[in-house]
Amino acid sequence: MGDKVFSGLALLAGVAILATLVFVAVFLSFNSVGAVYREEEGLIIRQFLQYAYPLVIGTLIASLIALLLATPVAVGVALYISHFAPPRLSKSIGYVIDLLAAIPSVVYGAWGMSFLGPTLVPLYGWLHQHLSFIPLFAGSPSQTGRTIFTAGVVLAVMILPIITSVCREIFIQTPKLHEEAALALGATRWEMITMAVFPFARAGIISGVMLGLGRALGETMAVALVLSPGLLTASLISAGNSTIPAEIALGFPEAPPGSERQAQLIAIGLVLFIITLIVNMTARWIVSRHKEFSGAN
Amino acid sequence: GEANNPVAENGDENGNGENGGGETSEVQGTLVGGGASSQEAAMTAWTNGFTSVAPEAQVNYASVGSGAGRDGFLGGEYDWAGSDSAMEDEEWEQSKEICGPDGAFHIPAYISPIAVAFNVEGIDETLNLDADTIASIFSGEVTSWDDDAIAEHNEDVDLPDTPITVVHRADDSGTTDNFTEYLEAAASTWEWEASDAWPSEISAESAQQNSGVVDLTSQTDGAITYADASQIGGLNSVAVLVGEDYVEHNAEAASQAVASSTPVEGQAPNNMAVELDRDTEEAGAYPIVLAAYNIFCNEYPDQQTADLAVAFAEYLVSEEGQQTAEAAAGNAPMSEDLRSTAMDAISQISAQ
Amino acid sequence: MPWWVSLVILAVSAVLGAALSALMTFNMAIWFILTAVLYVIISYGVTRAKVSRRKATDTLWKHLVYLAFIIALLPLVSVIWSVTSIGIPGLLEPGFLASDMRGIDGTIDRRSQEEGEPVLGGIRHALVGSLLITLSATFISVPIGLMTSIYLVEYARGGPLARAITFFVDVMTGIPSIVAGLFGAAAVGWFLGVGNSLGLGLPTRSTMGITAAIALSVLMIPVVVRTTEEMLRVVPNELREASYALGVRKWRTILKVVIPTAISGIAAGVTLAIARVIGETAPILVTAGFIVSNNWNMFQGWMTALPVFIFRQFQNPTSPNFSDPSHQRAWAAALVLIIIVMGLNLTARLIATFLAPKNTGR
Amino acid sequence: MSKSITAKDLNVYYGDFLAVEGVNIEIAARSVTAFIGPSGCGKTTFLRSLNRMHEVLPGARVEGQLLLDDDDIYAPGVDPVSVRAMVGMVFQRPNPFPTMSIRENVLAGYKLNGARMSRSDADGIVESALRGANLWNEVKDRLDRPGSGLSGGQQQRLCIARTVAVKPEVILMDEPCSALDPISTLAIEDLIAELQQEYTIVIVTHNMQQAARVSQNTAFFNIAGSGKPGRMIEYAETSTIFNNPSNQQTERYVSGKFG
Amino acid sequence: MSKSITAKDLNVYYGDFLAVEGVNIEIAARSVTAFIGPSGCGKTTFLRSLNRMHEVLPGARVEGQLLLDDDDIYAPGVDPVSVRAMVGMVFQRPNPFPTMSIRENVLAGYKLNGARMSRSDADGIVESALRGANLWNEVKDRLDRPGSGLSGGQQQRLCIARTVAVKPEVILMDEPCSALDPISTLAIEDLIAELQQEYTIVIVTHNMQQAARVSQNTAFFNIAGSGKPGRMIEYAETSTIFNNPSNQQTERYVSGKFG
Ligand SMILES: Nc1ncnc2c1ncn2[C@@H]1O[C@H](COP(=O)(O)OP(=O)(O)OP(=O)(O)O)[C@@H](O)[C@H]1O
Ligand SMILES: Nc1ncnc2c1ncn2[C@@H]1O[C@H](COP(=O)(O)OP(=O)(O)OP(=O)(O)O)[C@@H](O)[C@H]1O
Ligand SMILES: [Mg+2]
Ligand SMILES: [Mg+2]
Ligand SMILES: O=P([O-])([O-])[O-]
């Protein structure tokens, strides 16, 4: 009896999530029709794609920068907490890193805009001076630091504690048995980590990174505050580029009710949905490829 | 005087002191509205001030943006909306569903000039420019402060060769709409259509909201931007060539520009939406003006809301209301004529 | 290698770093970075030459891990410094926590800034709003999220429904917060509309605290599901079997054995989820509105949350030209927000320690 | 208390893989039966099918009849939970609950099921179960310390105490002594002899001396080759199996000549 | 290859708790030495101190001298990693790396030294190590399957193969046969006899027959009571320990009269 009720509740919760998502999807699709269909001209998918693709690329660039910067640091910090720090300190250190997660995105936005951006301006100047033959550092360097790179750095700081937290919990769970097996073979600490810890934590690391990526893809306010959005450009050090959530946040308040602009903004929300989907499916696929070697029970 | 110590008087329903001895109204209930953020500071002052006029009433305003405000208004979420631009005809048609056969109407209660403001080390005074030059600067054609195009208008000023950094609004905004409308109408070198969004082909540095562009400009040597004149703080601004004279932004000129503009036809009989005359040659007029409308229903579903709406709208356009806003937000008070037209329009509000 | 070698290397790196940074433009930051990089490289080289390649690799990674930790601390220190240095004076303003913003307008702020009068107004209303909305969202999301991950880990065994749920939860992680807000408003509006057309006498307007809580739940649930799912999966099966073998029902096994064993990870996940939403701005503004006075009622009337308050004070200062008081209030409110999240984090950890496996030995 | 067990043509599967095939066995109430056989022959698998623990693994299933006294525990409608309450199990690897103290571990069978009892009843159960498992003296001063802090042998005895505490009818033990020193082993063997007064006991062991010491009957399992199903080769009185087996495989195994 | 081990006044601590006290022992190269004693007396603890695995646990430390031939492995500046490469260890609970295939498991230690090797060299090492551990025939067809899919006994032999593949000087084994059936046990005992030609071997066992079968020398450990440190009571030739012990405690333990 109790079992039926409980499993029923569990199922219900899952179904509730599905229902919500279907609701969200319907809501988005319904409201974004106006972006791809005009009464006079019929389907205008091409125009919409022209509008959407720079935003898609901008979103991916910012998230990619964030991931590239945050993942190694986050994994490093998680390792530090689980395997390097003095055991007595590691709990408190974990707490300190959690502090990063406690900071609201508005504050990150304000920090990125008023402190980080200006701090990076000389770096952008330097990069431009010495490395402008690389397309990433071409273009006139920003005088304000409000670039997609700065936004990426802020996003990296924001997702760092997410990835750290998940990785840390998993690293700590690594069976002592396997760690000792590696050490007894004469492995150094680092070799032990690559032999026992990483393989065990692989799925968890990817899960944490995906969670961080989701945050980076969907982060609105911090990016909107830090970035000077503009045309798509390969340059990381000049103003330009924008991300989907920022575009929505910046455009939606003034979009007239029922207008094509409003539909467009909701439609790119739908596009972000699809991006998230593809990214996560890829991650799941990577995890599942090695399932029988995962060591999970 | 204002015995305003909200800290001490917290928890008390009508904690504000009496206001200048004006008579108080009996209306009660809560009136909710939302929309343009341009009038947020003024609205804060208004909602506060209104409590002293109508101690039983409460007014809430959410600065969600003009579009979202109109959306909420038409969707029945708000009793009135604040908006930097007037409703489209379609929207007005839609407003009949909730506002009765005459639909909704606009009152330009918040008027403020838009300043072209800059921060250049070495220039501590107002610069003179004409519309074409302003357009060339903002479109990125003129890239240095000592460009001839600028020097031509400012023979007495020693211009540095600082590069120009254009700062525009990152968010879609009524300020941008009004500014680009001016450029479109008055400058021959401006090729873009007026819009809430800054033309994406010429995007440069940008920030959110008036405070954002002003801060960014203040931090950046050589920066120029456009912003609500009440919010530019210590930045210097441009005197714009109108006819034969260079005109600095000022309150009177701004409200004059609204008063003398063309009314929008085809909506409610008491509608006060206007088409501003951007390329005016009239002496002393300052053509870059923003008028934020407050959009009310002609008919409200119940008497209480109608009374509240009337009381609040009347307070907005009252002399006292306009002064309160000016003191708090620094905008331009409505002219006498405009106020009395508005009072007439408001008196049309009724309950269904 | 003797212990003093690393000190020598550090000294050498510092000198070299100073020389190199002087070649560019001397700058403390550049000096530190160069010193760190040089130290890591030289240590690697020396260990490799004098000890062994494996030892060198080990040392290199050790240094990189330490470096990662220091790098992570940099933004933390920087942000915390920004917040506290500006926020503390605001927090010390008498009545900041106990009063709301009724009666505060630009004139008052101008006087504060120009005449040095105390900055009036406070965040009581925003504090109340934030706590109510966040707690409600937590009460909605944690049971749903936890039960869903239980379904996924304990019941579903990879069936099509489980795959569908996993798939959609993944998608949910990327919903931009503003979209969640719009959706929340639309969904509740629709629900109220349907309810009222059936004559249920519900409120007609959807702008209220609970709508915000629902919108935030859309953001919270995927975080809860994904983290708790990972944590439940690493609970050893032998514990489940031990419980079953005692004739304990599955649901009791889950509640009393599996969850307590995983509780520390679950607590970390819930904390992450709360931290994720308690700082949200846009979705709360469109769902709960914005008021200057206090409202305890989640189902009636508007509410203000701390981030919305902070954001508005930053973006549209109460007095546009005298923005110092607004900024002070904003930073102080940010500080309060951080303290709240840390408090929640601490509570979650305490609960976790209380319930967690009592580990000793191996 | 205590019941007999009868298996009729029992096949045990992991998904499509038939791990144990066609077992027919009758185990008398209040007796000790030992299962012996080489690694991988399906002893554990068969043992787990006796209390429906087998089906906990994904894809695992059982065919055939298994009677506890006269009731088929695999009949439709039988609740596996009630079967497990009657048939207790001690695992090869000690698995005390890490979140519980020693005391709570002993009471787990009650507490996890939400049973209420007075403090003194609980104390009584804890003491008698721990005494039964020969652990009382070692842990009586630290009943509130975590169970995972004990040595391997102590943990195993704790698990036995936990199983005995719920007073099942049948107790299954999967190599309960493999991690224990001779003294603890002896203690457990004594315990088994004592439990036999009240319970039906089945024990898997690799230690033939042990099988000889504790059991009345012994079943020998074997496997023809990897991937083939395990089978019960011979089932007889323990003395017969060790001294006079009828099957040649059995003989070779007990005499150590196998393989 | 193969080295002698000499412990001088070795104390082994867990934090403040002295687990093993004052051990003096000399273990000859190319011999098999068995450690016996009751549960909790510190056999595992002492064994782990022989290859500096003890200090892996937080707070654990060792006092005294431990010579491998003539080098003190606890001297300052000695890298524990190099000690462990010389002194291999097989744990009580089989612990193959679950994320590696059988083949990778065998090569895991070998690869650490970074020596690049050809596919055929690697194949050779895998085969000889697995043959040595008496596992080759059972797994030769599935070398690329995960190591965790093997039975307990097979896993244990895989771990032995992994240790042998590194070719250490000394091999420590902590109850390597406790999870194994007699056949596998025999195989491992044969393996030990063979390895003895080249390695110094120390084995912890609860099984005295086993100690008698495989070892030349036996050390008996005992503990005075719970919370007291363990001590080495007697160390002598195996036959002496089992037939003619000089210490009374030893006598009582080996004759099963203990406790
Ligand atoms: N979870 C499982 N999934 C699939 N096959 C399994 C599983 N567990 C065991 N098997 C297989 O079932 C067969 C019987 O295994 P079982 O564990 O019952 O052997 P055993 O007789 O208990 O051996 P040991 O003495 O080593 O414990 C073996 O071939 C084994 O590989
Ligand atoms: N990680 C640890 N922390 C603290 N004390 C420990 C730890 N591991 C073991 N001990 C203690 O050290 C003593 C010796 O333990 P050890 O594991 O060496 O015994 P053992 O002789 O190997 O016993 P067994 O035969 O049961 O394996 C015991 O009192 C035990 O409680
Ligand atoms: Mg078994
Ligand atoms: Mg041991
Ligand atoms: O009033 P705006 O913020 O739209 O310029």
Question: What are C234-275's pLDDT values in tens digits?
Answer: 888 889 999 999 988 899 999 989 998 888 888 888 888 888
Is A39 in CB contact (< 8 Å) with chain B? Answer: no
The verdict on a CB contact (< 8 Å) between D53 and C355 is no
Of D111, D125, D189, D182, nearest to D153 by C-alpha is: D182
For E138, nearest residue in chain D (alpha carbons): D226
Cβ–ligand 2 distance for E59 under 6 Å, the answer no
The verdict on a CB contact (< 8 Å) between C243 and D84 is no
Atom of ligand 5 nearest to the CA of B209: 3
Residue D86 alpha carbon to ligand 1 centre in Å: 24
The verdict on a CB contact (< 8 Å) between C261 and D98 is yes
Instruction: Give the residues surrounding ligand 5 with Cβ less than 6 Å away.
Output: A 254; B 36-38, 66, 84, 173-175, 209
The verdict on a CB contact (< 8 Å) between C79 and A204 is no
Q: Three-state DSSP class for B300?
A: strand
Q: Per-residue pLDDT for B4 more than 60?
A: no
Q: What is the DSSP letter of B56?
A: T
Question: What is the pLDDT at residue E183?
Answer: 77
Average pLDDT value for residue range B333-348: 91
Residue of D138, D206, D209, D253 to mutate, interface with E, max E Cβ within 10 Å: D206
Domain E5-94+171-254 has CATH 3.40.50.300: yes
H helices present in A174-259, as ranges: 176-184, 189-192, 198-218, 221-226, 244-251
Contact D10, D66 (CB under 8 A): yes
Q: What are phi and psi of E201, to 5 degrees?
A: -125, 135
How far apart are the C-alpha atoms of A269 and A32, rounded to whole Å?
Answer: 9
Contact B256, B64 (CB under 8 A): no
Q: What is the DSSP letter of E69?
A: T
Residue of E17, E39, E249 to mutate, interface with D, max D Cβ within 10 Å: E39
Burial A143-163 (b: 16+ CB within 10 A, else e): bbbbbbbbbbbbbbbbbbbbb
Q: Which amino acid is at E60?
A: A
How far apart are the C-alpha atoms of D96 and C280, rounded to whole Å?
Answer: 43
Average pLDDT value for residue range C328-349: 88
Question: What is the pLDDT at residue E257?
Answer: 58
How many C-beta neighbours within 10 Å does residue A69 have? 19
Query: Residue B7: pLDDT band by 50, 70, 90 thresholds?
Result: very low
Cβ–ligand 2 distance for C247 under 6 Å, the answer no
Q: Which residue has the higher pLDDT, C282 or B161?
A: B161
The number of residues making up chain E comes to 259
Fold of A49-293: MetI-like fold (1.10.3720)
Q: Which residues in chain E are contacts of C361 at CB distance < 8 A? A: 57
Atom of ligand 1 nearest to the CA of D227: 29
Question: What is the pLDDT at residue B17?
Answer: 38
Question: What is the pLDDT at residue E201?
Answer: 94
Q: In chain A, positions 218-237, which contact chain B (CB-CB < 8 Å)?
A: 224-225, 227-231
Task: Note residues around ion ligand 3 (Cβ under 5 angstroms).
Answer: D 44
Residue B133 alpha carbon to ligand 4 centre in Å: 88
> What is the overall mean pLDDT for chain E?
87
For A100, A142, E41, the CA distances from D181, given in Å and listed in that order, are 51, 74, 11
How far apart are the C-alpha atoms of B284 and B286, rounded to whole Å?
Answer: 7
Question: What is the pLDDT at residue E100?
Answer: 87
Average pLDDT value for residue range C19-46: 83
Give the distance from residue A69's alpha carbon to the nearest chain E alpha carbon, in angstroms.
27
How far apart are the C-alpha atoms of A142 and A113, rounded to whole Å?
Answer: 13
B34: left (phi over 0), alpha (psi -120 to 50) or beta: beta
Neighboring chains of D (3 or more beta-carbon pairs < 8 A): C, E
Q: Per-residue pLDDT for A59 more than 70?
A: yes
Question: What is the pLDDT at residue B14?
Answer: 40
Of A3, C244, C239, nearest to D87 by C-alpha is: C244
In this complex, how many residue pairs, one in chain B and one in chain C, have their CB atoms less than 8 Å apart?
128
Q: Which amino acid is at A234?
A: A
Residue A203 alpha carbon to ligand 5 centre in Å: 47
Give the distance from residue C287's alpha carbon to the nearest chain A alpha carbon, in angstroms.
13
Q: Per-residue pLDDT for E32 more than 90?
A: yes
Burial D99-108 (b: 16+ CB within 10 A, else e): bbbbbbbbbb
Q: CB-CB: which of C151, C311, C345 is closest to A102?
A: C345
Question: What is the pLDDT at residue D1?
Answer: 60
Neighboring chains of C (3 or more beta-carbon pairs < 8 A): A, B, D, E
Both tokens of residue E175?
Answer: 């109850």
Q: Which residues in chain A are contacts of C253 at CB distance < 8 A? A: none
Q: In chain E, positions 42-71, which contact chain A (CB-CB < 8 Å)?
A: 51, 53, 56, 58
Q: Per-residue pLDDT for D115 more than 90?
A: no
- The domain spans of chain C are 3-91, 124-354
Q: CB-CB: which of E39, E181, E226 is closest to D38?
A: E181
Average pLDDT value for residue range E28-33: 93
Q: Which amino acid is at C135?
A: L
Give the distance from residue D241's alpha carbon to the nearest chain C alpha carbon, in angstroms.
30
Q: Per-residue pLDDT for B10 more than 90?
A: no
Q: Per-residue pLDDT for A163 more than 90?
A: yes
> What is the overall mean pLDDT for chain D?
87
Contact D52, C250 (CB under 8 A): no
Q: What percent of chain B has pLDDT over 90?
A: 51
pTM of the model: 0.87
Q: Which residues of D touch C (CB under 8 A)?
A: 51, 53, 56, 58, 81-82, 84-86, 88-89, 91, 93, 95-101, 108-109, 111-114, 145-146, 148-149, 159, 162-163, 166, 168
The number of residues making up chain B comes to 352
Q: Per-residue pLDDT for D102 more than 50?
A: yes
Q: In chain C, positions 158-187, which contact chain A (CB-CB < 8 Å)?
A: 161-162, 164-179, 182-183, 186-187
How many C-beta neighbours within 10 Å does residue A199 have? 20
CATH number attached to the domain at C124-354: 1.10.3720.10
Q: Which residues in chain B are contacts of C110 at CB distance < 8 A? A: 328
Q: Is C331 exposed, middle or buried (0-12, 13-18, 19+ CB in 10 A)?
A: buried
Question: What is the pLDDT at residue E16?
Answer: 87
Name the closest ligand to CA E37: 2
Average pLDDT value for residue range A45-71: 92
For A255, nearest residue in chain B (alpha carbons): B67
Q: Per-residue pLDDT for D259 more than 90?
A: no
Q: What percent of chain E has pLDDT over 90?
A: 32
Q: Per-residue pLDDT for B2 more than 50?
A: no
The verdict on a CB contact (< 8 Å) between D93 and C238 is yes
Residue D152 alpha carbon to ligand 2 centre in Å: 9
Query: Residue A221: pLDDT band by 50, 70, 90 thresholds?
Result: confident
**Pocket probe mutation, ligand 2, options E41, E89, E203, E226, max atoms within 8 Å of Cβ:** E41
Give the distance from residue B172's alpha carbon to the nearest chain A alpha carbon, in angstroms.
5
E runs forming strands in B125-219: 127-129, 165-169, 205-207
Q: Which residues in chain C are contacts of B329 at CB distance < 8 A? A: 106, 319-320
Contact A35, A125 (CB under 8 A): no
The number of residues making up chain C comes to 362
H helices present in chain E, as ranges: 43-49, 80-86, 102-112, 119-132, 136-139, 152-165, 182-195, 208-214, 238-243, 248-254
